[in-house]
Structures are given as structure tokens and as C-alpha cells.
Amino acid sequence: MCRHGGSTGLRAPSWAGRSPGENCQHLLARDVGLPLCQALVEAQDGSPDRVVELLLPIRYRLVQIGGSNAQRDVFNQLLIHAALNCSSGLHKHVARSLLMERDALKPNSPLTARLIRKAAAVHLLQ
């Protein structure tokens, strides 16, 4: 964090002068933050296949950005919803796998039960 530096006021934090390879926050922003933000834009633009392509590789790294489990769960829900709405059959299989994982981690969740029913309906329509 910034510290008071005598008469000159604030000084940059010690990590600010490091090269990007030494700056963990820079790497986190690049490797997790950027794809996460891109996925949000793609979701807004109605591109569920792209959302899955962006979120699936980073989903286990989301814990690194901080926040509560509930806050990070929003991104998992986004991934599931996107996978359910994809044109790709492969992504629909991903959705079902994500839902089975979610059901194992959050048994008796009404949200998960609704999403599983939606996945079953999507599967029947395919």
C-alpha cells in the first residue's frame, strides 16, 4: 500500500516498480480479470458460446480475485447459464457436468434443482 513519505507526500507501493513478471496482481488481472471481464461483455452481447470459452479455463482460479463464496458463485452461475444456452452440444454437456458438480457441493439447493430441470428440458429439445 502507499505510505506517507516525509515532505514529498505519497510514495508508490514497493511492488509498483517491478516488471510485470514479478507483479502478482498484474498477472492476476491479465490471466483471470481480463477473461472474466470479457466474459461479462460477451454475456451482455448474447454470445453464450464465447462466455463458456472464456470462463471455463479460469473457473477454478476465480478464488484468487477475492470476494465471498457467494460473490464468486455469481460467475459460476453465469458459466452454467451460458453453457445451457450454447449452440454447441459439447457446451451443453459441460453445463450438465457443472450442474452435477454444483449439486454435489451444494446438495438440496433449490437453484441447482431448477437448473438441472432446465438442463433436462434443453437436452430433450435437442
- Quick check: 122 pLDDT over 60? yes
Q: Report how far Cα 117 is from the mean position of its chain's Cα atoms.
A: 23
- Each residue's pLDDT tens digit, 6-62: 444 566 566 555 665 567 888 898 899 999 999 999 999 999 999 999 999 999 999
Cell, residue 9: 507526500
Residues in the chain: 126
Instruction: Name the more confident of 115 and 5.
Output: 115
- Each residue's pLDDT tens digit, 88-97: 888 888 998 9
Residue found by looking up cell 516488471 in the block: 19
Cell, residue 74: 455469481
Q: Are the C-beta atoms of 79 and 59 separated by less than 8 Å?
A: yes
Bridge partners (DSSP) of residue 91 are: none
Domain ranges of the chain: 21-125
Count of Cβ atoms closer than 10 Å to residue 23 Cβ:
15
Q: Tell me the fold of 21-125.
A: 1.25.40
